[in-house]
Amino acid sequence: MRLEGRRYLITGVLTKDSIAFSTAEQLQSMGAEIVLTGFGRAKRLTDRVAGKLATPVEVLELDVNNAADYPPLVAALDEKWGGVLDGVLHAVAFAPEDALGGNFLQTPADSALTAFQTSAFSLKELGRALRPLLVRAEGGGAIVGLDFDATVAWPIYDWMGVAKAALESTARYLARDLGPDGIRVNLVSAGPLKTVAAGGIPGFQTLADAWGKQAPLGWDVTDPEPVARTVCFLLSDWARAISGEIVHVDGGFHAMGTALNP
């Protein structure tokens, strides 16, 4: 698959071990142009890791919870790429510490709302803001978000799990409303990976250990590339008839009813 001449926006790049960074690498290797986003003090991390890509890229300011950041972002992309954007990766999620780690019953409303706004509502905001650019993409624009299976309750995941359920529903409604513009919206439900985001989940190793027992294909928690490649497929026009879908990239874990025999 080649993506020469295609233009993509990648959010959520903080370190080299992230799905977002691996996606950026893969897109560049296929010939695409990319721009990253970052915000606040964390933007320094994005600037630094952007320098580790094969081709230097621009990093634009975007706090997905700040409505004021969207117009300058759209204007910058409009100027850079002539008003056309082929796709965007939504790789943003956050829940306060008291919304994770077994605190489900004690979590205050403000923390649950923060998890929802950052992890789910922001997908709608990103799609709404970038719609004028995505609608001009040849063959249709694409929005891809990163998910963690929200059909079941997980240990320790708590209100982030609820936020991911909201993300899944948001993606379906976005697919409904943006589909007439030729814009498709899909999610990739990945197995657990040792990323910065995972480091913020107390007891993350509990989830990681479960994959070693139940994924029939096995699962490497240090390798985001299989997930990134699937993201690239969904961002490409090879997936031009797919929308409202959740693609599992988890070694087959989700399809098994229980842990496998050794």
CA distance 228 to 162: 24
The owner of tokens 């081709």 is 55
- Catalytic residue check, 157: yes
Catalytic pick among 157, 173, 194, 213: 157
CA distance 229 to 16: 15
Catalytic pick among 8, 16, 80, 164: 164
CA distance 147 to 64: 17
CA distance 122 to 127: 8
Contact 110, 131 (CB under 8 A): no
- Catalytic residue check, 213: no
The distance of Cα 172 from the centroid of its chain, to the nearest Å, equals: 15
- CA–CA–CA angle 172, 176, 181 (5° rounding): 130
Buried b vs exposed e over 19-48: b needs ≥16 C-beta within 10 Å? bbbbbbbbbbebebbbbbbbbeeebeebee
Tokens (6 digits) for 129: 């803001």
Catalytic residues: 157, 164
